[in-house]
Structure 1
């Protein structure tokens, strides 16, 4: 180490004292960095001081035993190899070195007490500034390799010089194709960037051509990017083997894998309980055991009237009719309840009800969102219909997932033989097209816009299917769960053949398929021909009208309106909003801190390491027996639906439980990780998950199991002891009282008033924004269709639904909130549609029982509340109807018939019933 320079301090006395000498020595020792500033030609060596600093402050988390972020700072080789994000050193460029960036930002070490002192920081800075030298001989990765350049060329050039387009015969996707050149010959001269045609064209702003930038959504190469490309050519286009860049699976430990949700479910025997007489099935044994441990028991069984209303709304989203109630009450078959369950599960209304739950978690919407235009998705309804059909058919959940994740890779759709199975598999991939997507226009279709779509789809997949917040690892390794950043990008690589930020299809026209059935094509063509004929006749009629006759203007206006009406009746050409593999995906790189401009090391397709054993890996280059490659997404979907997968079955049975019992066994249904809540009944969750698989992934079988349990059939009565020992109801010492969701409230109002049009499927019913600011759906000839068939435009949600907590899809909704706010009551009190429905109900009641007021009250109670009124309620109802009739008589001032006053009184009474808490809550 060079000797320290002599520094003269003018304030010191000419004859130094002991104190002044000590101060001077202290000053000199504390500022050794000055020696390097004085001798810039003398490089600082890692072994001199840097190794000690890193060993003291960093190696605990970034060493051979624990390589957080894939970084080992204990050896020169590990330092040069870098982290999961790529190189951490840029010799001579301190500000570009990730190691110093993290230290300077106080992100490493994370604990304040461990952070580097000012002197230590300056030592690291000076070491990097002078070239980051090591005394030991270490095989260093070249300063620039193909992995610095290939992602750059994909970003700036491959749109025109890649797999889809090769203008001038030039392909810039690989080192080999770059060396080969194009029609003009070689484009690079190894070792001579200035003589390289590629550099010349870029510098001359001829590549990419400025006039074509917007059309391909590409930006010109930045100065620092051009410098990097030139340096690569200058160095002779060096390559490194991928094996040198690959990080061994040391980022996830065996301890990480022992967390409860990362272990396969284990089936345990139901426990023995004292109250064996309440055990209808194993669910009850698990629930009662926990209650008995607390000195509690289930609440008494609910009565049959309560059960049929609860069950009907839970399974179909609609209340039972008076006839259905009467039939159930008079059914003395011991299996009457089980038979009722079977009938409701077999109803086509079941699929409409439970599809809505699935559409929430996948973020379904009929518009693109992401910008103010909120462009419509005219073909998205097909996915909604697919979900309804799949649930009604009780398609095994394993198959349900496989079709949605890899339907295009399951079937041969390109043959042209579009069977119902092929059609369903293509439509099912709409699951991967639900996220907000602004990439339908050139100016909103750049790489960052595309990456946002991919990121949102990964969030939907992770939260809806896997119960993991995987998206958190996009910019850095997950803060709570053992999901390194590399796992996020390995997962995106699985979808790269379909979602490639460097080979993108716009979100609307180009990313749709025309593979519908021949029958649908013919129906569309016949419809359009019919409209064209009608329009032609009207146009001819318009030209034949005389300008000289006095009624010309009136007739001309009428014909023009008829022509305009016909234009509104045109159907969009039948297409499918799908996702499909397009082959030849670009390589996947980890983006440092999620920034697409700073790619790190390449990664191969893979699943989260914590969900596999240390010596297990999923091969994504498999071929089928006929020699054809098996799609990456299909391999992933099969891995997800393995019988012993730790998460897949647990997540879905927990979600079904949530909707039946008001809260999940894991009450964070989208997060089964360390930051999520622990299961209230872990053994029950595992038993349900294994039973689900044993029952061939049948959702209807799990529904039946849950709703036939004594736990589900208990009343909502709460004892003092239960209020004290189970205040939140998490132990299920009573059935929770649940409020109607937005769609259930709207659909129930329509049903009891005879205004529910039960026509299924097809394009969504339009909505309109009124002058008063309310958003409403249009009434058809037979009434209003169910809420699931109403257009779900992100910026125009019907006000009734929005007021009652219909979710905004950003990008999806894992668990709805439940508010209790004034606009809800005000809407039910004042809304014009609600008043209109009350008139419809009053008319139906009069048609059914005539003018007998007591019978009218009884019918209203049966339809709206599922029960008959008690004597006191009947008395109050009769008095109320009398007062209302007198009020309307006075208000109408006897100018209208008394029958009108009677009808208005009955309508007002019906309207009051709509506002009862008993109507809006499910006991």
Structure 2
């Protein structure tokens, strides 16, 4: 027997292996199958977030059908094209699973998924994408709404055709059925589309629509060819079943829990506790070995209170009254006086108008069209604050005022009905360019809706939800579904497919001149308008009467001349003809009329050609009538939002794209703010109402005592405007990316107290302002700089610069030129020759800034320099910048210089010519306090030096009417206006 050598064995083995490998390489690799190769990967690495019970991003990866359906970002798979497939892009780029996930996909797993897609995403039973390609009514109805139902829908059915459902398409209109199932080539709608007859090209701009593109026409054709498949799609609303997208664990975040009233703590410095606020604050301070700063003096306190509550400095007589009052409740009485001031609503109303995004113009377009009736909402807000309207009622009226009473059938509009309707303008404040034909498509309308939802969610809920228009919130448990549920709540009034245009825009076709206004004003105002209208019509008639007699005489003269030129035999007959009414003319007269009557008719144009005197009189009369007509009293109207009854269906738009609808949703609220097992209850506002009741349900949900955010968010805003920063610093973001409350127990205590005090804002002011915390000085020490550098613990009161309106109004006040006429039309603004924007001056001066026209593109320069926001779309919290333009404006602006002169005139009138008394009085007016000894001395020396300088400059004119002394006083007053003591509130 021959022995086989080991080396030969190795060679033989290697040859066998290589041969087998070569044979294997010649055979195609087995394609991955979903059930055996892909699903195990998904279950191990993805399904914890993407399953039927926890569908993050609306995505379920546990079944083939669910994978084929995709998620909120659209389809996941493009068969045969891994690089074009969103699923592969996300895992290949390492975006999914998230970084903090403990089980990332391996390279081999990623490669397997890539090969699966490349091979067509196969399953045991065939192609994974087959079901996703089915076109149903839920693809077609949104398309009809987008392109067709403006003429063939709820409000209008041209040719009797309604395209809002399959059944109505089959019913058709005057020309027959719109579709023939199984026969796209015979379907009238497709014939019209292919012929470019529909939508009519001349109407596209007018109605803000665009024609169907080829892909959309192909989809419609495919649906008709397949007999118009309809699939049942359950309306996605909250039910009693567990929510697959929001869990009870999500609801454990502090801001999503209802506020509970904590026990008031005991503290070491009990003598400093004037009310429970102090106990909570001192508890935290004592934990850092800190306490309150010393109490501020009475001069500081009254100036602080006056500016906080009215936005203006206290009158010196009020200061003297407070200083002389030694009673134990002197401070509380002073606070109450300012709470009762009519100026209070103007101050605190401005904060709310910021939140609402109030503006007197539409924005978006360079023309920035005026909103002629927006001022009523401004006045409503001011009056509501002055009356201390309970915050729950205040919200109810603004969110759903039109659904609180049947104003349409009321015998008379009551003051409460009027308030209800005016209040709804809160939801009409977002920038809106859809009054222009070229920016009035569904895309632009969705921008307006998105801005309004942003105003509502950030301002009232304290949540950032804007990103959820395109995808689920990245940080807060707010799925995209909840954004569109909330949008559905507003759809009765804000429907992108059933749109009311904003204010009339000159030059635009078919713009609704009264699209967003109601005429339900109070009887007194309506009666006055009717009387004014009658008087105006009488004035126009009187002006027109000036031509009546001259016209008559000239016509008679010209007719006589022309008749005299006619054949003699017909002259008398023509005269008789002209005196005979048409119905009574005989055959001969009718023949004469046809021949001669036209030449004997004279309008004013012909008369003017014939007679120069009449021409002059006619021109003068026409000019007068035109001027009178321009001054015709306009019918009083209300800018409002109202439910229109039957909204179109609400689909989730994938990636926020109005042309890419996903599934149907119904009205609802963010699930994380509910208990997760209570449906959103919508009921008609009253029996037989033609309104949906959706916003009323939203408003009532908002003001439930256990709502997690409503009271917290408002209390936090009030706190911020008294103490310089909110307990939650991010006023419009109480979510995971917002700031955490520095005093969470205090915030909850205040929230419950707010509700228990029947939502009274003034009572909360009083509570905060009578605390020891509010009465602290703003004194900074080394210890406070080390332990509480940002004053988060409120170890002192902050030194705050005046806001823009307060700066302007304060300068007007000290100059004695503040016109305190309240309410009504805003004062217009104009651009001066030097390019600066100012408001109009009246005989009394200038009104408060809140009454100045707020145009988004033309803001008064002084306000803009001091950080007045543009309202794009609103301002939850204003910035406070210090820039050179502020000092330059106060130093050099001609209006400021003029007001400085009027300030000086006031001082001289009230204090006389004695410099010492002038200085003292100027300080009292501007700074609400007398000057210190050092300030008196410096001011006296300054006045003397300035007087000397002016005498030298003026020469012989210096002694005339003490001109040098007057100009020196103007300089001093101008200096006070520029001082930090004037611009900052201690």
**Equivalent residues in 2 for 1:722-801 (5 A)?**
722-801=784-863
2:55 aligned partner: 67
Is it true that 1:227 corresponds to 2:221 in the alignment? no
**Equivalent residues in 2 for 1:110-259 (5 A)?**
110-111=98-99, 114=105, 119-127=111-119, 129=120, 134=125, 143-243=134-234, 249-259=243-253
Q: Does the CA contact (< 8 Å) of 1:86 and 1:601 recur in 2?
A: no
1:9 aligned partner: none
Match of 1:884 among 916, 941, 946: 946
2:39 aligned partner: 51
| Deviation by residue 1:73-108 (Cα, 9 ceiling, x = unmatched) | 112343355435676567789899764675577654
1:920 aligned partner: 983
Give the Cα–Cα distance (whole angstroms) in 1 for the partners of residues 307 and 641 of structure 2: 34
2:967 aligned partner: 904
Q: Does the CA contact (< 8 Å) of 2:237 and 2:667 recur in 1?
A: no
2:472 aligned partner: 477
1:514 aligned partner: 519
Range with greater deviation from structure 2 (612-621 or 578-587): 612-621
Give the Cα–Cα distance (whole angstroms) in 2 for the partners of residues 304 and 481 of structure 1: 46
| Deviation by residue 1:721-747 (Cα, 9 ceiling, x = unmatched) | 111111111101111111111111111
Match of 1:429 among 424, 429, 436: 424
Give the Cα–Cα distance (whole angstroms) in 1 for the partners of residues 229 and 462 of structure 2: 43
1:40 aligned partner: none
Q: Does the CA contact (< 8 Å) of 1:413 and 1:422 recur in 2?
A: yes
Report the CA distance between 1:541 and its aligned residue: 8.4
The 3 A distance-change label for structure 1 pair 245 and 756 is closer
Partner SS, residue 712 of structure 1: coil
Report the CA distance between 1:702 and its aligned residue: 0.4
Taking structure 1 as the reference length, the TM-score comes to: 0.91
**Equivalent residues in 2 for 1:835-850 (5 A)?**
835-850=897-912
Give the Cα–Cα distance (whole angstroms) in 1 for the partners of residues 659 and 539 of structure 2: 56
Partner SS, residue 50 of structure 2: coil
1:808 aligned partner: 870
Is it true that 1:700 corresponds to 2:774 in the alignment? no
Match of 2:529 among 524, 532, 546: 524
Give the Cα–Cα distance (whole angstroms) in 2 for the partners of residues 131 and 84 of structure 1: 23
Match of 2:414 among 394, 412, 419: 419
The 3 A distance-change label for structure 1 pair 627 and 793 is closer
Q: Does the CA contact (< 8 Å) of 1:159 and 1:165 recur in 2?
A: yes
2:487 aligned partner: 492
Report the CA distance between 1:625 and its aligned residue: 6.8
2:440 aligned partner: 445
Q: Does the CA contact (< 8 Å) of 2:81 and 2:117 recur in 1?
A: no
Q: Does the CA contact (< 8 Å) of 1:84 and 1:601 recur in 2?
A: no
Is it true that 1:468 corresponds to 2:468 in the alignment? no
Give the Cα–Cα distance (whole angstroms) in 1 for the partners of residues 494 and 23 of structure 2: 60
The 3 A distance-change label for structure 1 pair 556 and 470 is same
Q: Does the CA contact (< 8 Å) of 1:91 and 1:131 recur in 2?
A: no
Give the Cα–Cα distance (whole angstroms) in 2 for the partners of residues 58 and 33 of structure 1: 29
The 3 A distance-change label for structure 1 pair 282 and 729 is same
The 3 A distance-change label for structure 1 pair 32 and 79 is farther
| Deviation by residue 1:577-624 (Cα, 9 ceiling, x = unmatched) | 111011110000010011111111111111001011222221225675
CA RMSD of aligned residues (A): 3.3
Give the Cα–Cα distance (whole angstroms) in 2 for the partners of residues 631 and 719 of structure 1: 57
Is it true that 1:681 corresponds to 2:743 in the alignment? yes
Partner SS, residue 856 of structure 2: coil
Report the CA distance between 1:853 and its aligned residue: 1.2
1:8 aligned partner: none
Give the Cα–Cα distance (whole angstroms) in 2 for the partners of residues 739 and 20 of structure 1: 89
Report the CA distance between 1:496 and its aligned residue: 0.5
Give the Cα–Cα distance (whole angstroms) in 2 for the partners of residues 50 and 70 of structure 1: 20
Give the Cα–Cα distance (whole angstroms) in 1 for the partners of residues 629 and 153 of structure 2: 42
Is it true that 1:393 corresponds to 2:362 in the alignment? no
Match of 2:929 among 867, 872, 880: 867
Partner SS, residue 768 of structure 1: strand
Report the CA distance between 1:264 and its aligned residue: 0.2
Partner SS, residue 51 of structure 2: coil
Report the CA distance between 1:765 and its aligned residue: 0.3
1:371 aligned partner: 365
The 3 A distance-change label for structure 1 pair 542 and 522 is same
Give the Cα–Cα distance (whole angstroms) in 2 for the partners of residues 255 and 660 of structure 1: 35
Partner SS, residue 776 of structure 1: strand
Partner SS, residue 590 of structure 1: strand
Q: Does the CA contact (< 8 Å) of 2:435 and 2:502 recur in 1?
A: yes
Is it true that 1:667 corresponds to 2:655 in the alignment? no
**Equivalent residues in 2 for 1:325-336 (5 A)?**
325-336=319-330
Partner SS, residue 668 of structure 2: coil
Give the Cα–Cα distance (whole angstroms) in 2 for the partners of residues 34 and 448 of structure 1: 48
The 3 A distance-change label for structure 1 pair 271 and 19 is farther
Partner SS, residue 141 of structure 2: helix
Q: Does the CA contact (< 8 Å) of 1:142 and 1:238 recur in 2?
A: no
Give the Cα–Cα distance (whole angstroms) in 2 for the partners of residues 840 and 232 of structure 1: 77
Give the Cα–Cα distance (whole angstroms) in 2 for the partners of residues 872 and 303 of structure 1: 19
Give the Cα–Cα distance (whole angstroms) in 2 for the partners of residues 904 and 568 of structure 1: 45
The 3 A distance-change label for structure 1 pair 764 and 243 is same
The 3 A distance-change label for structure 1 pair 321 and 196 is same
Partner SS, residue 54 of structure 2: coil
Report the CA distance between 1:904 and its aligned residue: 1.2
Give the Cα–Cα distance (whole angstroms) in 2 for the partners of residues 23 and 898 of structure 1: 120
Q: Does the CA contact (< 8 Å) of 2:237 and 2:679 recur in 1?
A: no
Structure showing greater radius of gyration is 2
Q: Give the gaps of 5 or more residues in structure 2.
A: 1-10, 504-513, 551-607, 610-615
Give the Cα–Cα distance (whole angstroms) in 2 for the partners of residues 410 and 768 of structure 1: 40
Report the CA distance between 1:70 and its aligned residue: 2.5
Q: How many equivalent residue pairs?
A: 895
Taking structure 2 as the reference length, the TM-score comes to: 0.85
2:672 aligned partner: 610
Give the Cα–Cα distance (whole angstroms) in 1 for the partners of residues 170 and 850 of structure 2: 56
2:261 aligned partner: 267
| Deviation by residue 1:381-411 (Cα, 9 ceiling, x = unmatched) | 1100000011111111001001001000111
The 3 A distance-change label for structure 1 pair 566 and 324 is farther
Report the CA distance between 1:354 and its aligned residue: 0.2
**Equivalent residues in 2 for 1:78-93 (5 A)?**
78-80=66-68, 82-84=70-72, 88=76
Give the Cα–Cα distance (whole angstroms) in 2 for the partners of residues 93 and 584 of structure 1: 43
The 3 A distance-change label for structure 1 pair 119 and 96 is closer
The 3 A distance-change label for structure 1 pair 334 and 150 is same
**Equivalent residues in 2 for 1:296-315 (5 A)?**
296-315=290-309
Range with greater deviation from structure 2 (896-905 or 318-327): 896-905
| Deviation by residue 1:773-827 (Cα, 9 ceiling, x = unmatched) | 2111111111100000001000111111111111121111111111111111111
Give the Cα–Cα distance (whole angstroms) in 1 for the partners of residues 971 and 539 of structure 2: 46
| Deviation by residue 1:99-152 (Cα, 9 ceiling, x = unmatched) | 46755776544549648766335324235x467664799995771111111101
| Deviation by residue 1:236-263 (Cα, 9 ceiling, x = unmatched) | 2122222397897211111110000000
The 3 A distance-change label for structure 1 pair 123 and 94 is closer
Give the Cα–Cα distance (whole angstroms) in 2 for the partners of residues 539 and 52 of structure 1: 90
Q: Does the CA contact (< 8 Å) of 2:264 and 2:279 recur in 1?
A: yes
Q: Does the CA contact (< 8 Å) of 1:765 and 1:778 recur in 2?
A: yes
